[in-house]
Amino acid sequence: MTRGRRPVVIAGAGPTGLMCALALTRQDIPVVLFEAEPALTHDLRAGSFHPPTLEMMAPYGITARMLETGVIVRHWQIRNKPGDLVAEFDLNLLADVTPYPHRLHLEQHKLTPIQLGILRQAGGAEIHFGHRVLGFTQNADGVSVSVDSGGATRMVEGSWLIGADGGRSAVRKGLGVEFEGFTWPEIFVVVSTPYDFGARGFARNTYIADPVEFGAMFKVPDDGPPGLWRIAYPANPDESDEALLAPARVEAAMQRFCARPEPYDVRYKSTYRVHQRVAASFRSGRVLLAGDAAHLNNPLGGFGLNSGIHDAVNLADKLGRYFRGEGGEELLDRYSRQRRAATIEQVQAMSIRNKRMMEERDPAVQRERLREMIAIAGDPPRAREHLLNTSMISGLKRAEQIS
**Cis omega (within 30 of 0) for bond into 237:** no
- pLDDT tens sequence across 264-273: 999 999 998 8
Is 249 domain-assigned? no
Work out the pLDDT band at 15, boundaries 50, 70, 90. Answer: very high
Q: What is the mean pLDDT of residues 339-355?
A: 70
Q: Among 211-225, 230-244, 276-290, which is the least confidently predicted range?
A: 211-225
Burial of 202 (C-beta count, 10 Å sphere; 0-12/13-18/19+) = buried
Q: Which of 211, 210, 304, 222 is nearest to 257 (CA)?
A: 210
Domain membership of residue 267 (yes or no) is no
- The pLDDT assigned to 1 comes to 35
pLDDT of residue 230: 94
Is pLDDT of 353 > 70? Answer: no
- Residue 171 has a pLDDT of 97
- Beta-sheet strands, E only, within 159-310: 160-163, 179-193, 205-209, 215-220, 228-235, 268-279, 283-284, 287-289, 295-296
- Pick the range with the lowest mean pLDDT from 64-73, 120-129, 282-291, 302-311: 302-311
All residues at 6 or more sequence positions from 384 whose CB lies less than 8 Å from its CB, including other chains: 93, 94
257 within a domain of the structure (yes/no)? no
Q: Which of 186-195, 223-232, 271-280, 374-383 has the lowest mean pLDDT?
A: 271-280
pLDDT in tens, 79-90: 988 788 999 999
For the stretch 383-398, pLDDT in tens is: 999 999 999 999 899 8
20 within domain boundaries: yes
* Averaged pLDDT for residues 210-216: 83
The pTM score is 0.93
Give the pLDDT confidence score for residue 81 in this predicted structure: 81
Distance CA 166, CA 182 (A): 16
Q: Using one digit for the tens of pLDDT, what is the confidence trace for 254-300?
A: 999 999 999 999 999 999 888 888 999 999 999 999 999 999 877 66
Asked if the model's pLDDT at residue 194 lies above 60, the reply is yes
Which amino acid type is present at position 94? L
Report, as an integer, the average pLDDT of 33-62. 92
pLDDT exceeds 50 at position 205: yes
CB atoms under 10 Å from CB of 106, counted, come to 21
Is the model's pLDDT at 3 over the cut of 80? no
Tell me, yes or no, whether 191 lies in a domain. Answer: no
pLDDT value for 360: 64
Tally Cβ neighbours within 10 Å of residue 272. 13
134 CB-contact burial (10 Å; exposed 0-12 / middle 13-18 / buried 19+) = middle
From edge to edge, which strands make up the β-sheet containing 215-220?
85-90, 75-80, 205-209, 215-220, 228-235, 179-193, 268-279, 295-296
Pick from 168, 130, 133: nearest CA to 150 = 130
Q: In what order do the strands lie in the sheet with 142-149?
A: 131-139, 142-149, 152-158
Q: How many domains does the chain have?
A: 1
Domain coverage including residue 114: 8-180+276-400
pLDDT of residue 275: 80
pLDDT category at 359 given cuts 50, 70, 90 is: low
**Average pLDDT score, the chain:** 91
pLDDT reported for residue 209? 85
Nearest one of 344, 331, 334, 325 to 276, comparing CA atoms: 344
Whether 81 maps to a domain, the answer reads: yes
| Low-confidence winner among 62-66, 88-92, 364-368 (lowest mean pLDDT) | 364-368
The dihedral over CA atoms of 85, 91, 93, 97, expressed in degrees to the nearest 10, equals: 160
Average pLDDT over residues 163-175: 96
Task: Please provide the distance, in angstroms rounded to a whole number, between the alpha carbons at the two ends of the chain.
Answer: 25
**Domain assignment of residue 314, yes or no:** yes
Cβ atoms of 200 and 264 within 8 Å: the answer is no
| pLDDT at position 65 | 98
At 300 the pLDDT is: 66
Q: Domain containing 282 — which CATH number?
A: 3.50.50.60
User: Which pLDDT belongs to residue 350?
Assistant: 59
Under 8 Å CB-to-CB from 265, ≥6 apart: which residues? 193, 194, 195
Q: What is the per-residue pLDDT for 92?
A: 97
98-112, 126-140, 223-237: range with lowest mean pLDDT? 223-237
Asked, for residue 368, whether it belongs to a domain, the answer is yes
Q: Is the torsion defined by CA of 178, 180, 184, 189 positive or negative?
A: negative
Check residue 224 and give its pLDDT.
85
